[in-house]
Amino acid sequence: MIGDSSQPLSAYWMPFTANRQFKTAPRLLAKAEGMFYKDVNGRDILDATSGLWCVNAGHCRKEIAEAISRQAAELDYAPSFQISHPGAFRFAQELVQYTPEGLNRVFFANSGSEAVDSALKIALAYHRARGEGQRTRFIGEERAYHGVGFGGISVGGIGANRRQFGAWVPADHLPATLNYEHNAFSRGEPGWGAHMAQNLENILALHHPSTIAAVIVEPVNGSAGVIVHPKGYLKKLREICDRHGILLIFDEVITGFGRLGTPFAGHFFGVKPDLMTCAKAITNAAVPMGAVFATSAIYETITQGPEHQIELSHGYTFSGHPLACAAGRAALAIYTGDGLFSRAKEIGEYFEDAAHSLRDLSIVRDIRNLGLMAGIELHASPDGPGRRGYETLVGAFERGVLIRVTGDTIALSPPLIVEKNHIDQMFDVVGQVLRGLK
């Protein structure tokens, strides 16, 4: 047994977890290195999900651990309001070398949820500064996940995440672009459906474009089951936003930092958003951090008025935390030094072939993929939706592979250091489990 796993489990209220079920048969990880976890029983578990879409450079990278340790001994914390530390400026300056052109201002947060809510507030502040304070509504998309803040759940399109809490920020939603009839088993971007971007015009007509602050989308919907937008769809959204003075926000919390074979999804799709959120892999998940990237036009519009006055009344105690900045700088050095931003492009075809090798299983309803992201959607069990997904998670874990499931969709998104033998192992195991499901 590694670590102390004998303690009672009652006190910890786990997030997004069936707590009672988990505590009857806990899955506890104790160590990690490279592509693998070790559970508390000392079993190797192949990480086919980069933790939670976040450990892009693989686990326990020495350079990151050392950078955190050095920073903790030198400057553990510096206030973030009206005071700062050089590491935050250095990291911001380094990050904007890799963002889509023009996104050269960075606002730090501590998670994807905070990054999303920060981006929404920046959009509102921007319009207000331009004398268009009536732009208070956002347009999100069905089946998009934007975290768990009140802004994020309002623009997000996952019913279960809103049901218990309501939706408090004015928002409307584009229909999800998932289409089984035309696009099932598409490899990469589906060819059918770019015209669905026209739905945005209909929604704008309903509310009047002058009331809309921003459109927010995930470039690829990750958490709701790897939904890849049709080819050309995001470009069309960009055109419509431009036509109506509406900001476009890309939520790159999953797609950022090399997931698609480019630094950010904006590069991959050739679309430049006005605001971009990221988190997760920004520090290779070693220290929590999120960020919003903005154009200088947005920054300059908001940073006006008397110079002694705070321009954006928003921020966090831990914005630009020294340990997060140290981890982030070390992670960025690995991503660029090891060529990981383009790795998904190099190995993506092998990954795609492996994913689609499962298409003939009768239980499989659809397979979708882009870069190093794949979703394998199962037909729901007659016993109810989600059962097969959960059984696949448990079955794969028992066989030494960590996968992610949402409902009945299995999501695979390995660290970018993944090799062909790991890809073989993860899809072999998933295939074995699926063959055994009722």
CB neighbour list of residue 128: distance below 8 Å, 6 or more residues apart: none
Question: 296-355: which residues touch ligand PLP (CB under 6 A)?
Answer: none
Please identify, among the stretches 111-119, 297-305, 365-373, 427-435, the one whose residues bind ligand PLP according to the rule CB under 6 A: 111-119
Of 222, 230, 375, 389, the one binding ligand PLP (CB under 6 A) is 222
Maximum Cα–Cα distance across the chain: 68
Of the candidates 249, 3, 241, the one whose C-alpha atom is nearest the C-alpha of residue 116 is: 249
Q: How far apart are CB 410 and ligand PLP at their closest, in Å?
A: 16
Name the CA dihedral angle for 221, 222, 223, 226, rounded to a multiple of 10 degrees: 90
What is the three-class DSSP state of 28?
coil
Count the site residues for ligand PLP by CB under 6 A.
14
Partners of residue 247 on adjacent β-strands:
214
Q: How far apart are CB 6 and ligand PLP at their closest, in Å?
A: 29
> Distance between alpha carbon 253 and the CA centroid of its chain, in Å?
3
Based on CB atoms, which residue is closest to ligand PLP, 111 or 319?
111
Tell me: does residue 118 bind ligand PLP (CB under 6 A): no
Helix axes 343-356, 420-436, angle to 10 degrees: 30
Based on CB atoms, which residue is closest to ligand PLP, 283 or 425?
283
The residue length of the chain stands at 438
Of the candidates 98, 120, 148, the one whose C-alpha atom is nearest the C-alpha of residue 339 is: 98
Tell me: does residue 273 bind ligand PLP (CB under 6 A): no
Q: How far apart are CB 396 and ligand PLP at their closest, in Å?
A: 20
Q: How far apart are CA 283 and CA 56, in angstroms?
A: 9
Please identify, among the stretches 139-147, 167-175, 307-315, 412-420, the one whose residues bind ligand PLP according to the rule CB under 6 A: 139-147
Tell me: does residue 293 bind ligand PLP (CB under 6 A): no
Of 111, 186, 295, 413, the one binding ligand PLP (CB under 6 A) is 111
Of 71, 113, 183, 369, the one binding ligand PLP (CB under 6 A) is 113
CB 17 within 8 A of CB 25: no
Based on CB atoms, which residue is closest to ligand PLP, 204 or 279?
279
Please identify, among the stretches 3-11, 59-67, 142-150, 306-314, the one whose residues bind ligand PLP according to the rule CB under 6 A: 142-150
Based on CB atoms, which residue is closest to ligand PLP, 110 or 183?
110
C-alpha separations of 189 from 193, 227, 260, 409 in Å: 10, 9, 12, 18
Per DSSP bridges, beta strands 409-412 and 373-378 are: antiparallel
Show the tokens assigned to 429.
């195991």
Q: How far apart are CA 311 and CA 116, in angstroms?
A: 19
Of 51, 87, 147, 371, the one binding ligand PLP (CB under 6 A) is 147
Please identify, among the stretches 41-49, 105-113, 297-305, 328-336, the one whose residues bind ligand PLP according to the rule CB under 6 A: 105-113
Of 98, 138, 145, 264, the one binding ligand PLP (CB under 6 A) is 145
Q: How far apart are CB 54 and ligand PLP at their closest, in Å?
A: 8
Interaction site with ligand PLP (CB under 6 A): 111-113, 116, 145-147, 218, 222-223, 251, 253-254, 279
